[in-house]
Chains A and B, each alone.
Chain A
Amino acid sequence: MITPPLVRRNTPQRYRMEAYQCTKCGKIFFPGRLVCDRCKHREFEMVTLPEEGKVITHTVIRTPPTGFSDLSPYCVGIVEMANGVRILCQIADCEPETLAVGLPVTLEFRRVQEDGESGVLAYGYKAVPAR
């Protein structure tokens, strides 16, 4: 779903990778939470995720959902960032044959979705391997 309030509310995470770290046990959450699932503490401080990471699992989507056909087939993976936090995102500019567990990637700002021809654009992060 891409609607103006949804896009706006997700902007700090999608544009600036804002994560939140529990001030008691140090676990980092992306996106942030109201309560730490490890120690139940309720205070956090903002940290930015690093832009470097590595692929820990991956796939190639060949039957895309609505709105994703232009890039099909495209790579998707779970990426472990340099600070240990894991995210899921597309792996862009990547030939499917080169996908591998351990592939180092860097996050780039990309247009992730659009609400049809006239709706708002939803930007966010994708992981890109070195050229």
Chain B
Amino acid sequence: MSDASIPTLRTRLTRRPAGWLLFPSLTVLILFFILPTAIFFIYSFLTSRYYRVAWVFTLENYYRAFTTPVYWDAIFNSLLIGLLAAVITTLVSYPFAYFLTFRITRGRNIVLFLVVISLLGSYLVRVYAWKTILGREGVINSFLLMLGIIKEPLLFLLFSRLAVILTLVHVFLPFTMLPILSSLQNIPSELIEAARDLGCNPLQGFLRVTLPLSATGVLAGFAYTFILSAADYITPQLVGGTSGGMIGLSITNQFVKVGNLGLGSALSFFLLFLLVFIVYSVRWSARRAHLVSNA
């Protein structure tokens, strides 16, 4: 933290400029992250046809992105699913992280280990797993048929919004848990004790000390899940079916099937703008409601 920069006994090692240490990674980031993003952005203002762009300026792409109802529906659907997935993921993660931090000491590392395993366990496989579980001849249906509980397979399981949200929550749960966990673990226990000493009951102590101090982790996990699930293009294809297309898939199709690179770029930046706007609005309102502590 800050003590790294207090000028104490300055060794020769520390007097060297940070420049050469940063040079290689910054070059890579500029060449392969900033420049591509810039070109991607420029593409959204260019005329394009059949996977090629002509360097002719146009606002047509944004016009089409804003005025085509199909894209509006897909964007609205994506934001809705992203928000639902993020809210559910956060609500499911918090008590779990709380339990792991404050309620158990033995076996905590094993549980943490399990969370990391599921985090690094293949994203694609986990989405696919839900398809096999929820499918027409899938695990749930065949199990219920075998037991004779149902006569006909339940068709609403797969290819529904429910399936998409169930899958997204499963995929992003560990990603939300970890930031919440680390923000809970960084709360000095003296603060919670002090709140109790000053007469707070457990609930007040939680609402006034623990929750605001862990809000940074909660917001980080929420934003992460919201952005990544709203822009997912695999889950809707595998388990979503035709039930309300998501914009990630429309964007992908512009680049893979249709070849209208300009429209695809315009849709991407429109989506990105909305995502960032929503994330910052949530953050701003959390601050306004004094749910986030600055300490």
Genuine A/B complex: no
Which residues of B approach A to under 8 Å, CB–CB? none
